[in-house]
Amino acid sequence: MPPGRPCHTAPVTTAPRKGTRARLAPTLEEVAARAGVSRATASRVLRGDAKVSERAPASQCSRHRVAVMNDGVLQQVDVPLGLYDRPANLFVAGFIGSPRMNLLPAAVRAGRATLGGVEVAVPPSPDGGARASVMLGVRPESFRLVAADQVGALSLEVVLVEELGADSFVHGNVRIGDEQQLLIVRSGDRGSVRPGETVCVRPDPARVHVFDTETGARLD
């Protein structure tokens, strides 16, 4: 790449979901408005001049905005890290990132949801009423392994450990309420966890995402 040349070729990249057809024409004006680009720039996507990918690669430069669509409906437009750090809804949360975000149901009591001993504030519903439940989202790197005596920590029954060079991803089952849920946790201590073991994990309270269980919209 010649020196001084921008690292992106188009301000907007569409990321259609796998197995669905990207239908951009009905939302061209919306894409242009929300991405902060001209209608002509947005139309480049329609003509195929802009790159179309199934998943936004982490290597895209920070100024390269990505439009995430589901069945032709615009879900969110942001730079890759914006999509990763603050997904607008459950669809974007589950679509962006590999491994995927952990999405776990949680009951709400007195305006707070609890996960692994960590309490998260939950805003009231639009009509002012209390919510009965929410969906909590936690990235694999936002969990940490803790001692077994930590109050409220989740017991993770390890079924698989992915050793990926610098990272290890621990896959296992946890019990949330009456249901068993699959959890993926990144471990910084390679080789310390093996399948068949039970370890305790806890989320970073500052990095727990809260979503509406009915609409899927972000609440926090």
Residue from 130, 129, 176 nearest 155 by CA: 176
Whether residue 137 lies inside any domain: the answer is yes
**Residues of the domain holding 114:** 102-211
Is residue 165 located within the same domain as residue 187? Answer: yes
Q: Which of 77, 95, 113 is at the close of a domain?
A: 95
Is residue 137 located within the same domain as residue 90? Answer: no
C-alpha–C-alpha distance, residues 150 and 117, integer Å: 8
Q: Which of 95, 114, 145 is at the close of a domain?
A: 95
35 or 109: which leads in pLDDT = 109
Is residue 124 located within the same domain as residue 191? Answer: yes
Is residue 55 located within the same domain as residue 113? Answer: no
Is residue 43 located within the same domain as residue 71? Answer: yes
Most trustworthy range by pLDDT among 6-20, 33-47, 136-150 = 136-150
Q: What is the CATH number of the domain that holds 135?
A: 2.40.50.140
Name the domain count of the chain.
2
Q: pTM to 2 decimals?
A: 0.71
Task: Flag whether pLDDT at 132 surpasses 70.
Answer: yes
153 or 189: which leads in pLDDT = 153
Is residue 193 located within the same domain as residue 137? Answer: yes
Task: Flag whether pLDDT at 15 surpasses 80.
Answer: no
- In this predicted structure, what is the pLDDT of residue 203? 93
Is residue 25 located within the same domain as residue 110? Answer: no
